[in-house]
Amino acid sequence: MQFTAEIIAGFLGGSIEGRPEAVVGSVAKIEEARDGDLVFLSNPKYEEHLYHTGATVAIVNSDFRAQHPLPEGLTLVRVENAYKAFASLLDLYVANKPKKSGISSLAFIHPTATVGADVYVGEYAVVGEGAVIGDRAEVWPQVYVGDRVKVGAGSKLYPGVKVYEDCVIGDRVIVQGGTVIGGDGFGFAPTEDGSFQKIPQIGNVVIEDDVEIGSNSAIDRATMGSTRIRKGAKLDNLIQIAHNVVVGENTVMAAQVGIAGSTKVGSNVMMGGQVGVVGHITIADGVKIGSQSGIPNNILKPGITVFGSPAYPGLEGHRIQASVKQLPELRKQVSELARQVKALEERLAVTK
């Protein structure tokens, strides 16, 4: 697929600085681009690469002012928000790619399952008894859709995804390869002889509309009721969501976040990588949690930023982290003070 700068500017509502007829056929990183590539610049950190790029067209913010001569032949498309505009172009690019379609003869679909219009089901996929696959959904090779599972319209389950029985996937949900939805929650009761008795997990998982879940994540079914990921949430790779957790709308989590059972996470929460959250607590709307933070208690004040393990709010967290770095020197000072006090006590004892 090829697009001219004029078409790109028209689609984005931007202005052209250079050749409207400049043609691009692919997108690239600004530091690696070659002739015929489209790039974008939104982060000033990468501005230096623009002056040496081999790209044909670059999307920049409308207030961008070049500090050095631009490469000969480079055409700029100026827009209000270069990052958002580039994302819109990628959406257009993906929408124009050939879509998977049809049901493979090597797939198994139970006779009682319901499959909508324009659905793709790949090789060795399994659609269980009473399952429902919505219109335009994509079930890629080696996906397992369990009994009575519902997959909404336009959703995509990439290779190796497993959705266990009775779970619900909303519309336009994307689940990357290797993720398991609806595995048993970690529920065991200690017995008198020191062993553990498994507690049956009879609930399900509900994934609401427009959620995206990364590769090799695990979202456990509820003991009773539902583990729920609300509309618009985005979960990165390698994330663990335990039984009966609720994740609020438009909440985002980076890789390796783990949330223990029955915790309620609010809307528009942001969690950095490797955040760990204990069970049975509440995190308010709009909270921001720094990477590798440990959350042992409720966070009930909306919109605050916390980090550390255990996590502390804003400036308090900074002060604590700064103090930790000083501990070796403080330890030396305390030891020296203790030695001096002991010496003074010995002198006083002699003079008595």
- Domain of residue 39 covers 3-95
DSSP letters for 161-213: -EE-TT-EE-TT-EE-TT-EEEEPP--EEE-TTS-EEEPP---EEEE-TT-EE
**Are 112 and 215 within one domain?**
yes
**Are 224 and 87 within one domain?**
no
Active site residue 243: yes
- pTM for this entry: 0.82
Pairwise CA distance, residues 301 & 312, whole Å: 12
**Are 159 and 276 within one domain?**
yes
Q: How many CA atoms lie less than 13 Å away from 312 in the CB half-sphere? A: 8
**Are 121 and 228 within one domain?**
yes
Pairwise CA distance, residues 79 & 82, whole Å: 6
**Are 267 and 352 within one domain?**
no
User: Which of 80, 95, 110 marks a domain boundary?
Assistant: 95
Cβ-count burial 90-102 (b if 16+ within 10 Å, e if not): eeeeeeeeeeeee
Determine contact, residues 36/23, Cβ cutoff 8 Å.
yes
**Are 78 and 148 within one domain?**
no
**Are 132 and 205 within one domain?**
yes
Catalytically annotated residue among 68, 243, 280, 318: 243
Look-up: residue for tokens 């020197």? 329
**Are 130 and 278 within one domain?**
yes
Strand, coil or helix: 267: coil
In this structure, are strands 188-190 and 196-198 parallel, antiparallel, or unpaired? antiparallel
Pairwise CA distance, residues 207 & 211, whole Å: 7
**Are 81 and 147 within one domain?**
no
**Are 72 and 129 within one domain?**
no
Write out the chain's pLDDT in tens, 352 residues. Answer: 688 999 999 999 999 999 999 999 888 999 999 999 999 999 999 999 999 999 999 999 999 999 999 999 999 999 999 999 988 888 877 777 778 889 999 999 999 999 999 999 999 999 999 999 999 999 999 999 999 999 999 999 999 999 999 999 999 999 999 999 999 999 999 999 999 999 999 999 999 999 999 999 999 999 999 999 999 999 999 999 999 999 999 999 999 999 999 999 999 999 999 999 999 999 999 999 999 999 999 999 999 999 888 887 877 766 777 677 788 888 888 898 988 888 888 888 777 6
Length of the chain as a residue count: 352
Total domains in the chain come to 3
Q: What is the DSSP letter of 286?
A: T
Residue 84 sits in a domain whose CATH number is 3.40.1390.10
Token pair in block for residue 351:
């003079």
Residue 106 sits in a domain whose CATH number is 2.160.10.10
